[in-house]
Chains A and B, each alone.
Chain A
Amino acid sequence: MRTFIARRLGVSLLVLLTISTLSFVLLKASGDLAISLAGEGSGADYVAFLRKTYGWDRPILVQYADWLWRLLRGDLGTSFYYGSPVLEIIAERLPVTLKLGAFAIFMALGVAFPLGSLAALRPDGWMDRVAMFIAMVGQATPIFWFSFVLILILGLNLAVLPISGGGTTAHFVMPSIALAFYAMPAIIRIVRGGMIEALASDYIRTARAKGLRPWAVIVRHALRNTLVPVVAIASVQFGFLLGGSVVVETIFALHGIGYLTWEAISQNDYPVVQASVLVVSAFYVVLTLLADLLNMLIDPRIRHD
């Protein structure tokens, strides 16, 4: 078990290192930072001065080592646009996206878990058809169109929810529904698949044979075994939502990480763009690590592998 944890930790660290290297390469590939920071048409002296102050005139490997060293100490650089540390800006925006993602994943799980389980009880039965239909519709609906449909129905016609901004929790309801709808299809499929597999296994036959009531079999034995894939998919989907919330955040004017990134791209604020991708990826890596450890606790078979 200890080697399992150690190996898992090692992989996560290596992934983080690779991602940070990739993001450094990307930033360097995006063009001459000094020119974009100085603005077009600035004098050559000023560009040279910026290059010197930021240390962009040093060899690339030295820059990389320096950048990585700062990163390890939590220094993500300075925003070109705001002039303040990137870490501060991101720390300010991250809670909005996390709140949105958490609402959405719970909504998605709340619908998808029962729906997927019920669908699995009788594959190709009417409940299964309904669940698969919902999954297909969810998959085919572009999230930005769905957001507008929500705005038109809930915001305009029924006028029950605020349309834009992030002042109160009510502001988060519509964006969360939109995101949840986006995450749901995958969860429905995973729950359904896991449940069908669980129901076909030997221990379920044994539980049935010894005369347990059908519901006890399903809830106590089968559901518990679908938890492993569900924990895995929930963490994956949560990470996916953190990245995917950019569309929803721009539509509903929620000032989270996605909105920040989108803004930063149009402002050529490269350090912020780079840092947002890096932070969300790091978040995702930690999340999947936690999910794996949690699964190890749920399922002894993983522990003793």
Chain B
Amino acid sequence: MTKPISATPSAVLSRTAVLALLTRWCPHNWRLGLGSSILLLILLCAIFAPWLAPHSPYDQSLTDRLLRPMFMEGGSWAHPLGTDHLGRDYLSRLLYGARFSLLVGFGTIVLSAFIGIGMGVAAGYFAGKVDLIVMFILTVRLSLPIMLATLAIVGLLGNSLPLMMLVLACFLWDHFLVVARSLTLRLREAEFVLAAKASGYSDLRIMISEILPNLVGPLVVVATLEMGHAILLEAAFSFLGLGIRPPDASWGLMIAEAKDFVFFEPWLVNIPGLAIFILITAITLLGAGLQRLLVKD
């Protein structure tokens, strides 16, 4: 079942479809335009962090601790967003932090989409007993409090970046499953599916090449929203000290490290907080825009 995701674009995005998408793209869909532009900007910041960052994110300087950002009184261009309690350049840490957010977001979604879509399509296609079992697995998953359960697992098994992504992926597939299943249920009696069956195609082939291409639009929307979810959870984990470990820079960890200074230097908390907010807003806008573009109701 690795094929589905790579097999789809050719089927869906034929040349006419691309043209149709482009003409519908920008003028009427400001959400898509704004969301994708901001996300692209953050992505570029993350990729080119080593070239964009004015300093190393790890370099401490005892004489330059808690310098204020340039837009505040006493700030300077040497450290545009100031420095943290160890004298590390805040802008550099912010740029490097974007890498973890996006890495966790993308990585988790690829895995969880695989799990959720696989189970959802199988449940919808085979119905009956398979559906019953899949729905039971879904009920169990939904009964586990995601924040507490993932925290406990990461805490018990030891925290590392790959483990965190794996655990998050094992919890964030529910929306993929629900959407894939309900759409597949609608398609299983469709004429093109029956025709494929009559021609003797295998079940696996029908699911991948006949059904899956029809689910791409709604599933892309789910993927964007779940990516936001994963990024927020990573930030919360790092904030609680169970995610990205010091001295690496993650936005959640930056807030955790700044929390003792929140009464004196609130910008230390507000800058990474705002960064997370902007990233998630961009992803949400992108999701809403994609929904309008791809999902016909």
Select which of B136, B156, B232 is within 8 A of A265 by beta carbon.
Answer: B156
Please give, as numbers and ranges, the residues of chain B lying within 8 Å of A258 by CB-CB distance.
148
Query: Does B252 contact A19, Cβ atoms closer than 8 Å?
Result: no
Q: How far is the CA of A140 from the CA of B147 in the complex (A)?
A: 17
Query: Does B147 contact A246, Cβ atoms closer than 8 Å?
Result: yes
Query: Does B235 contact A142, Cβ atoms closer than 8 Å?
Result: yes
Query: Does B148 contact A277, Cβ atoms closer than 8 Å?
Result: yes
Select which of A142, A250, A273, A284 is within 8 A of B277 by beta carbon.
Answer: A142
Chain B 118-162: CB-based contact to A (< 8 A → 1; otherwise 0): 000000000000000000100110111111110111011100000
A297 within 8 A of B: no
Binds B, one of A42-50, A76-84, A237-245: A237-245
Please give, as numbers and ranges, the residues of chain A lying within 8 Å of B285 by CB-CB distance.
136
Q: How far is the CA of A149 from the CA of B235 in the complex (A)?
A: 16
Q: How far is the CA of A156 from the CA of B255 in the complex (A)?
A: 18
Please give, as numbers and ranges, the residues of chain A lying within 8 Å of B255 by CB-CB distance.
142, 144-145, 148
Please give, as numbers and ranges, the residues of chain B lying within 8 Å of A243 by CB-CB distance.
145-149
Q: Which residue of chain B has the shortest Cβ distance to A284 in the bound complex?
A: B143
Query: Does B236 contact A247, Cβ atoms closer than 8 Å?
Result: yes
Question: Taking chain B's interface residues, is the majority helix, strand, or loop, or is none over half, making it mixed?
Answer: helix
Please give, as numbers and ranges, the residues of chain A lying within 8 Å of B142 by CB-CB distance.
236
Query: Does B140 contact A19, Cβ atoms closer than 8 Å?
Result: yes
Known contacts: A142-B232, A142-B273, A240-B145. The answer to whether A246 contacts B151 by CB under 8 A is yes
Query: Does A277 contact B144, Cβ atoms closer than 8 Å?
Result: yes
Chain A 26-62: CB-based contact to B (< 8 A → 1; otherwise 0): 1101100000000000000000000000000000000
B263 within 8 A of A: yes
How many residues of B are counted as interface, with CB atoms below 8 angstroms from the partner's CB atoms?
Answer: 42
Query: Does A11 contact B136, Cβ atoms closer than 8 Å?
Result: yes
Q: How far is the CA of A71 from the CA of B59 in the complex (A)?
A: 51
Q: How far is the CA of A30 from the CA of B89 in the complex (A)?
A: 38
B228 within 8 A of A: yes
Query: Does B152 contact A145, Cβ atoms closer than 8 Å?
Result: no
Task: For chain A, residues 206 to 259, give those with C-beta under 8 angstroms from any C-beta of chain B.
Answer: 236, 239-240, 242-244, 246-247, 250-251, 257-258
Q: How far is the CA of A251 from the CA of B276 in the complex (A)?
A: 18
Q: Which residue of chain A has the shortest Cβ distance to B256 in the bound complex?
A: A144
Please give, as numbers and ranges, the residues of chain A lying within 8 Å of B259 by CB-CB distance.
148, 251
B interface list, Cβ under 8 A from A: 136, 139-140, 142-149, 151-153, 155-157, 228, 232, 235-236, 239-242, 252, 255, 259, 262-263, 266, 269-270, 272-274, 276-277, 280-281, 284-285
25 pairs, CB–CB < 8 Å, chain A vs chain B: A11-B136, A14-B136, A15-B140, A26-B152, A26-B156, A29-B156, A136-B281, A139-B280, A139-B284, A140-B228, A140-B280, A142-B232, A142-B273, A142-B276, A143-B236, A242-B145, A242-B148, A243-B145, A261-B148, A262-B151, A270-B156, A276-B148, A277-B152, A281-B149, A284-B145
